Amino acid sequence: MICCVEEGEVEDCPPELAALVEKIVFVRLSSGKGFDSYYGRLVALFGGQPYGVWRFKQEKIQAAINRSIAESHFDALYCDDIYMYSNIAENIDIPVLLNKDDITFEIVEQYEKSARWPVSAYAAIEARRVREFEVSTCNRAKTVLACSERDRDALYDAGVKTHTVVLPNVIEVERYHRPNNAEEAATLLYVGAMDWYPNIDGVRFFAAEILPRIVSQIPDVKFVVAGRNPSQELIAELTVDKHIEFTGTVADIVPYLSSATVCVVPLRIGSGTRLKIIEAAAAGKAVVSTVLGADGLSFTNRDEILREDHPAAFADAVVSLLQDPARRKEMGTKARARAEAEYSISALNEILAASFAEIGIGTGAPVSAGK
C-alpha cells in the first residue's frame, strides 16, 4: 500500500492498518494550503493542467510505485482516484482498477456555478481541464469502479469507454449500532471534514437559511458540527448563534451519532455518495438531506430518508421529525436495514471479488493489460 500523508498527519503505521497489509509506504506531501495552494494553482493554470495533477503527480510517488513493482509481482494495481493515477507509467503492463468514490469534474463544475468572479472564471477553466483529464484517465484503466449507478451513467455520458462497475461506498455497519442509545433532545448533527469546501458551504447554508426557521418553532434546538479542522474564522462566524457548536476532530463519531436526534445533510456541492448518510443510517438515525446530498444512494424518500432542497421545506422536515419520536425511530430502523443490505463490507466484498475475477485474478485465467 502506497499512500500520501501531509506533514503533521500520520507518523507511524497504525496497528489496525499494519495487520491488513504486507507493506505500507508513506509519501509525505506539503499541506497544499495557504501559499502552497495559491502558488500551485497559478503554476497549474499557466501550465495547462488541473491543479490536482500539479499537486499529486510527484517523482517521489512515482518512485515508490516503480520500486514496489520492481520488487514484487502484482496481479493488479488498485488506484484511488484520478490524480494518483497520474503517477502510474503509461506503458505499465499490469491491469489497473481505478476507484471513483465521486466524480471530480462535477464538484468543480458545481463550485464554478456558486463562485463569484474572478474565482468563477478560474473555476470554469479548471472544470474543463478536470473533465478532460478525468475522462482520459478513466479510459486508461482496465476497470473503473464507480460508487453508484448514477455515477457510472454520468461517466459513460462524459465519454468514458472503459468497462465500469458499481462498487458502493461502504462502512462497517455493525460498529455504528448502539441498541440503547440515549439521544439528546432536539440535537441536530452534521458530520464532515471542515477543511473541505462543500462541507463548509453546506454548514453555512444550513446556519443562514434553515436553522433560523427551525429555531422559530423549536427554540432549544442545538446544531452540532462534527468534523476535523474547522477554521477559527468559521467558528467565530457561526457560533455567534448560540444554537451552533463545533466539535473539531473527534476520535470516534459513533457517540455523536448515538446522541443525535436527527442528522442533517444540507449539501449543495458534491458528487459520489455520502458516507455521512450511510453512517447515520447504520446508527439507526433519521436523516434529512438535500436531493444532491443523498444522490446516488438507494434510500427511499419519505420512508428511509427525507429529501428537501428548499430551506423552508428542509426546516419543516426537520421539525416534523423532532416532534415525532415514533416516526424518527421507524425511519431510522428502515434506513439501517438498507445500510446492512447494500452498504456493508459483505456487499463490497462480493462486488470487488467479481471485479477482480473479470480481469483474471483468482480464476486462473491470464491477466492482460488490455481495455
Are 11 and 73 in a shared domain? yes
Residue 59 has pLDDT above 50, yes or no: yes
Are 152 and 212 in a shared domain? no
CB 127 within 8 A of CB 112: yes
The three cell numbers of residue 350 are 462480493
Mean per-residue pLDDT over the chain, rounded: 89
Q: How many CB atoms lie within 10 A of CB 237?
A: 13
Residue 42 has pLDDT above 70, yes or no: yes
Residue 158 has pLDDT above 60, yes or no: yes
**Model confidence over 284-302: pLDDT tens digits?**
999 999 999 999 999 999 9
Are 158 and 201 in a shared domain? no
Looking at residue 36, its pLDDT comes to 64
Q: Torsions phi, psi of 174, nearest 5?
A: -65, -30
Are 351 and 302 in a shared domain? no
Q: How confident is the model at residue 369 (pLDDT cuts 50, 70, 90)?
A: very low
Are 220 and 295 in a shared domain? yes
The secondary structure element, H or E, covering residue 16 is helix 15-18
Q: How confident is the model at residue 15 (pLDDT cuts 50, 70, 90)?
A: confident
Say how far apart CA 239 and CA 204 lie, in whole Å.
11
| Residue-wise burial string across 212-234, b where 16 or more C-beta atoms lie within 10 A, e elsewhere | ebbbeebeebbbbbbbeebeeeb
Q: How confident is the model at residue 34 (pLDDT cuts 50, 70, 90)?
A: low
Lowest-pLDDT range of 213-222, 250-259, 260-269, 339-348: 339-348
Q: What is the pTM of this model?
A: 0.80
Q: How confident is the model at residue 354 (pLDDT cuts 50, 70, 90)?
A: confident
Are 164 and 191 in a shared domain? no
Structural domain includes residue 310: yes
**Model confidence over 218-237: pLDDT tens digits?**
999 999 999 999 999 999 99
Residue 188 or residue 353, greater confidence: 188
Q: How confident is the model at residue 185 (pLDDT cuts 50, 70, 90)?
A: confident
Structural domain includes residue 371: no
Are 159 and 189 in a shared domain? no
Looking at residue 9, its pLDDT comes to 73
DSSP 341: H
Total tally of structural domains belonging to the chain? 2
Are 241 and 276 in a shared domain? yes
The three cell numbers of residue 177 are 449500532
CATH of the domain at 78: 3.40.50
Are 260 and 143 in a shared domain? no
Looking at residue 360, its pLDDT comes to 73
Q: How many CB atoms lie within 10 A of CB 108?
A: 24
Are 128 and 263 in a shared domain? no
**Model confidence over 92-142: pLDDT tens digits?**
999 999 999 899 999 899 888 887 888 888 889 999 999 999 999 999 999
Looking at residue 365, its pLDDT comes to 45
Owning domain of residue 7:
2-170+347-358
Are 211 and 163 in a shared domain? no
The three cell numbers of residue 49 are 493542467
